[in-house]
Amino acid sequence: MSQKSSIFDMIGPVMIGPSSSHTAGVVKIARVAHSFLGGQPESATITFYNSFARTYEGHGSDRAVIGGLLGYDTDDARIKNALQQAEKEGLEFFFKSVGNASTMHPNTLKIQATRGDLSVEMTGESLGGGVINIANYNGFRADFSASMNTLVIKAQDVKGSIAFIAQVLAQDGCNIATMNVSRKGKNDMACQFIEIDSEVAPITLKYLQHLEWIHDVIYIPYSK
């Protein structure tokens, strides 16, 4: 077996193996970027940090991140050939590595991707066992796990906005599990990251999008 062999070559295409943090977790992080863009990006730059920077080829993290950007689930057999498939589908991708980022989690990657007029820059941490944390999103501190249905709402930092959105979701029968709010400054732009136990009705999403002080509503349904 050559030194370049990855765990996909050793155990087959299913996402199980000696390091789920380098495989399943990476797929999940990239799928969040896919959701932020509303589909497959046209171009992406992926930066691997710390242990990822040293092992992303051998552990198959390069295939995993591209598979996630293509919208694959963690157990999708196509991940094994994700790099080749991305080239066929016109996804331009570039890999970078930073081996000594002491302020970052050992298993961190940053995705900068574009799709039409949309762009995303996000940082994700793979915590092990397929568990992830989306640490940053387009300049906002995020800290959500994507282990539930998630709403990302970018809005003006107006009084009562958090309580109002919580009430709208309650009227839809949605129970909020976690919420993190990050803002640029007082009365400036803010971003709410809300994890919910149940699905959000399309009419609720449309209502929130209709409000003048809300600039963007992104719904990320849970996926394995």
| pLDDT, tens digit, 9 for 90 and up, residues 164-210 | 999 999 999 999 999 999 988 777 899 999 999 999 999 999 999 99
Which of the pair, 106 or 4, is modelled with greater confidence? 106
Order of strands across the sheet that contains 149-156: 176-183, 189-196, 149-156, 214-220
Q: What is the DSSP-derived secondary structure letter of residue 14?
A: S
CB 137 within 8 A of CB 146: no
Instruction: Kindly indicate the confidence band of residue 21, based on its pLDDT and cuts at 50, 70 and 90.
Output: low
**Model-level pTM greater than 0.85?**
yes
Predicted pLDDT of residue 19: 53
Lowest-pLDDT choice from 11-25, 103-117, 139-153, 163-177: 11-25
As a whole number of angstroms, the distance between CA 67 and CA 84 comes to 10
3-state secondary structure 101-152: CCCCCCEEEEEEEEECCEEEEEEEEEEECCEEEEEEECCEEEEECCCCEEEE
Predicted pLDDT of residue 48: 94
Mean pLDDT of the 107-132 span: 94
Encoding tokens for residue 75? 């157990």
Predicted pLDDT of residue 20: 58
- pLDDT tens-digit readout, 71-93: 999 889 899 999 999 999 999 99
Mean pLDDT of the chain: 88
Q: Residue 12: pLDDT above 60?
A: no
Rounded to 10 degrees, the C-alpha dihedral 190/196/201/202 comes to 40
Predicted pLDDT of residue 222: 86
Q: Residue 5: pLDDT above 50?
A: no
Encoding tokens for residue 110? 């940053």
Q: Residue 149: pLDDT above 60?
A: yes
